[in-house]
């Protein structure tokens, strides 16, 4: 069960003194998950009035700060947001969500799809979503991107042994694919999902690279979407052989096996230091106007520099060892807005991003199984205080995982307000009380006296996460709940959460753009 508490303003800055053409993709890259509007100001905040002497001037490359290693370079098995930023340069989907207005734009697809409602014996309230692939769209070897590549990518997600559990639920609505020819195909959907268009715009992988033996051609999307048939396929040799290969290390980070249709190729990964991408010499998108949304790609090289300490990152930024720093501390960002010397070298932006932060709770944990306990914890979180003190007002409260800018956002949802009295009442109703007067509520569970002590995990390098955890910990003490804060290295944090090895954890979710 997630407890949503805020959406963040995307705090970013970039170096304006690079080779001029690099700015086109630099803005798209660094603010790819941001958008103007909301509480943020997306306009450039800079004091530049002419040429500035910079050691980075004339270099057609971009160095972007990252706080941790990516988990994987495979877009279907990766679950970390920082990996997603890198994937956006390597891979493409059928559509692209623009950072300016959240509108959908065709990328691999020739145009946005034709969507029709259907109602028949098989699909009582279904949809068909029909796409045409661009003639220009090609893989690095010159082969065209085809409908078979799309079908393969969808089947890879639906393969029950592929490490894509986090995606499969989103694709259950696509029940079948009808391939008309190399460029035209139609998805058949078993329900009228309100996010059907954007989720149908699957990230497309080259079948010839990721499934050279064409193992997944032995299965249809329809049978991979049928729970009973999937159960029988668990022991299928071809299903297991493909998954074992697809999940293997080489397709997660080995050069030559990380391949997409995007403008950049994966060059190197020095663990804990940097990930480097190199611009392709003959990219298919170069044949299209570079002012088309999703096709700007000017820098010759993009380096993602990994620095997990914020102080060290700020020093590197001021020494011009970084060109881009995003999601920095609100206090530091606001201070830099008044630094005229700093603004001679960097532009600052603060658009609202499509993201939310939340506290995840393990509903299988005996202490958290009762919804009244989870609600009680929700009532202890003072979102107003968090936004004012930690985010310096650069965030907005959120009532669920849908951004307020979306037409389907429900404004009449009642959020959990800060209410310690209500929290205590709910715990009492759930049978928790402080029987020994030590300040921590307890209850007999499965015959044993159990104190309401909980562990809250957060990722290493997240000072905001640590401070938020301390606010939550102090508030929980008022209702007799003891919270132990535990910091985890990012990739370990991701893996443990995926395996449900947690009581509570602090995290966020980011969507394109």
Residue 48 has pLDDT above 70, yes or no: no
Query: Residues 232-260, buried b or exposed e (16+ Cβ, 10 A)?
Result: ebeebebbbebbeebbeeebbbeeebbbb
For residue 24, what pLDDT is reported? 25
For residue 459, what pLDDT is reported? 87
> Where in the chain are all domains bearing CATH 3.90.76.10?
105-222
CATH topology of domain 10-91+254-349: D-Maltodextrin-Binding Protein; domain 2 (3.40.190)
For residue 335, what pLDDT is reported? 84
Residue 108 has pLDDT above 50, yes or no: yes
> Where in the chain are all domains bearing CATH 3.10.105.10?
355-381+416-510
Higher pLDDT, 9 or 470: 470
Residue 300: how many CB atoms within 10 A of its CB? 16
Higher pLDDT, 196 or 329: 196
Q: By mean pLDDT, which of 75-79, 218-222, 395-399 is the weakest?
A: 395-399
Residue 324 has pLDDT above 70, yes or no: yes
- Chain centroid to Cα 461, Å, comes to 18
* Sequence-distant (≥ 6) Cβ neighbours of residue 270 within 8 angstroms: none
Express each pLDDT in 479-488 by its tens digit.
999 999 999 8
Residue 73: how many CB atoms within 10 A of its CB? 24
Higher pLDDT, 173 or 50: 173
Torsion of CA 167, 248, 146, 134, to 10 degrees: 70
* Sequence-distant (≥ 6) Cβ neighbours of residue 454 within 8 angstroms: 367, 368, 476, 481, 482, 483, 484, 503, 504
For residue 52, what pLDDT is reported? 62
Express each pLDDT in 19-47 by its tens digit.
222 222 222 222 222 222 333 344 455 55
Which of the four pLDDT bands, split at 50, 70 and 90, describes residue 354?
A: confident
Closest by Cα among 222, 249, 258 to 163: 249
Percent of the chain having pLDDT more than 90? Answer: 61
Percent of the chain having pLDDT more than 70? Answer: 89
For residues 425-449, give the mean pLDDT: 95
- Looking at every residue in the chain, the average pLDDT score rounds to 86
Residue 266 has pLDDT above 90, yes or no: yes
For residues 238-243, give the mean pLDDT: 98
Q: By mean pLDDT, which of 232-236, 314-318, 407-411 is the weakest?
A: 407-411
For 19, half-sphere exposure in the C-beta direction (CA atoms, 13 angstrom radius) is 14
Q: How far apart are CA 80 and CA 501, in angstroms?
A: 17
Q: Which helix (H) or strand (E) element contains residue 136? A: none
For residues 445-450, give the mean pLDDT: 93
Is the pTM for the entire model greater than 0.85?
A: no
Q: How far apart are CA 292 and CA 250, in angstroms?
A: 33
Residue 432 has pLDDT above 70, yes or no: yes
- DSSP helix/strand/coil, 208: helix
Q: How far apart are CA 79 and CA 163, in angstroms?
A: 10
For residue 404, what pLDDT is reported? 77
Looking at the chain, the number of H-run helices and the number of E-run strands are 18, 24
Torsion of CA 306, 311, 315, 317, to 10 degrees: 50
> Where in the chain are all domains bearing CATH 3.40.190.10?
10-91+254-349
- DSSP helix/strand/coil, 335: helix
Residue 7 has pLDDT above 50, yes or no: no
For residue 247, what pLDDT is reported? 97
Domain spanning 355-381+416-510: which superfamily? Dipeptide-binding Protein; Domain 3 (3.10.105.10)
The residue assigned the tokens 């009581």 is: 503
Q: How far apart are CA 480 and CA 435, in angstroms?
A: 11
Higher pLDDT, 104 or 245: 245
- Chain centroid to Cα 157, Å, comes to 17
Residue 225 has pLDDT above 60, yes or no: yes
For residues 232-261, give the mean pLDDT: 96
For residue 22, what pLDDT is reported? 26
Tokens (6 digits) for 218:
């032995």
CATH 3.30.460.80 fits 105-222, yes or no: no
Q: How far apart are CA 82 and CA 66, in angstroms?
A: 7
Using CB atoms within 10 A of its CB, is residue 365 exposed (0-12), middle (13-18) or buried (19+)? middle
Higher pLDDT, 133 or 296: 133
Higher pLDDT, 339 or 512: 339
Residue 352 has pLDDT above 80, yes or no: no
Q: How far apart are CA 328 and CA 305, in angstroms?
A: 15
Residue 331 has pLDDT above 70, yes or no: yes
Tokens (6 digits) for 447:
């015959």
- DSSP helix/strand/coil, 497: helix
Q: How far apart are CA 498 and CA 162, in angstroms?
A: 14
Contact 241, 197 (CB under 8 A): no
Q: How far apart are CA 337 and CA 43, in angstroms?
A: 13
């Amino acid at each position: 069960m997630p407890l949503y508490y805020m959406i963040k303003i995307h705090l970013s800055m970039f170096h304006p003194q690079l080779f001029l053409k690099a700015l086109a993709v630099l803005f798209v890259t660094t603010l790819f998950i941001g958008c103007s509007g909301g509480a943020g100001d997306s306009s450039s905040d800079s004091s530049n009035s002419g040429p500035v002497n910079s050691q980075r001037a004339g270099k057609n490359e971009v160095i972007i700060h990252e706080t941790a290693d990516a988990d994987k370079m495979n877009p279907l098995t990766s679950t970390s947001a920082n990996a997603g930023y890198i994937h956006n340069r390597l891979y493409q989907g059928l559509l692209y969500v623009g950072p300016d207005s959240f509108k959908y734009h065709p990328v691999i697809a020739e145009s946005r799809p034709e969507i029709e409602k259907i109602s028949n014996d098989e699909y009582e309230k279904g949809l068909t979503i029909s796409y045409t692939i661009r003639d220009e769209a090609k893989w690095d070897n010159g082969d065209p991107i085809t409908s078979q590549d799309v079908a393969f990518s969808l089947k890879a997600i639906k393969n029950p042994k592929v490490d894509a559990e986090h995606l499969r639920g989103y694709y259950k609505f696509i029940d079948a694919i009808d391939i008309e020819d190399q460029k035209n195909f139609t998805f058949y959907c078993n329900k009228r999902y309100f996010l059907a268009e954007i989720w149908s715009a699957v990230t497309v992988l080259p079948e010839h690279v990721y499934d050279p033996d064409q193992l997944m051609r032995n299965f249809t999307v329809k049978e991979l979407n049928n729970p009973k048939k999937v159960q029988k396929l668990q022991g299928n040799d071809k299903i297991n052989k493909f998954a074992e290969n697809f999940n293997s290390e080489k397709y997660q980070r080995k050069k030559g096996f990380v391949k997409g249709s995007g403008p950049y190729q994966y060059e190197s990964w020095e663990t804990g230091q940097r990930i480097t991408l190199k611009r392709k010499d003959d990219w298919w998108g170069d044949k299209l106007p570079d002012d088309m949304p999703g096709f700007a790609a000017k820098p010759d090289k993009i380096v993602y520099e990994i620095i997990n300490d914020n102080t060290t990152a700020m020093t590197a930024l001021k020494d011009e060892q970084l060109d881009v720093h995003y999601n920095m501390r609100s206090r530091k960002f606001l201070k830099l807005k008044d630094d005229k010397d700093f603004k001679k070298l960097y532009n600052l932006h603060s658009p609202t991003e499509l993201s939310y932060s939340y506290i995840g709770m393990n509903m299988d944990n005996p202490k958290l199984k009762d919804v009244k306990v989870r609600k009680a914890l929700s009532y202890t979180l003072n979102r107003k205080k968090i936004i004012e003190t930690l985010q310096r007002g650069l965030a907005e409260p959120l009532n669920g995982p849908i951004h307020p800018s979306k037409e389907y956002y429900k404004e009449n949802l009642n959020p959990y307000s800060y209410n310690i009295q209500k929290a205590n009442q709910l715990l009492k109703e759930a049978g928790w009380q402080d029987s020994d007067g030590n300040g921590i509520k307890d209850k007999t569970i499965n015959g044993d006296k159990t104190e309401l002590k909980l562990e809250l995990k957060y990722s290493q390098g997240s000072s905001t996460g640590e401070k938020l955890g301390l606010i939550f910990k102090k508030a929980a003490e008022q209702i007799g709940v003891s919270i132990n804060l535990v910091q985890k290295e990012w990739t370990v944090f991701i893996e443990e959460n995926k395996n449900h090895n947690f009581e509570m954890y602090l995290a966020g979710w980011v969507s394109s753009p």
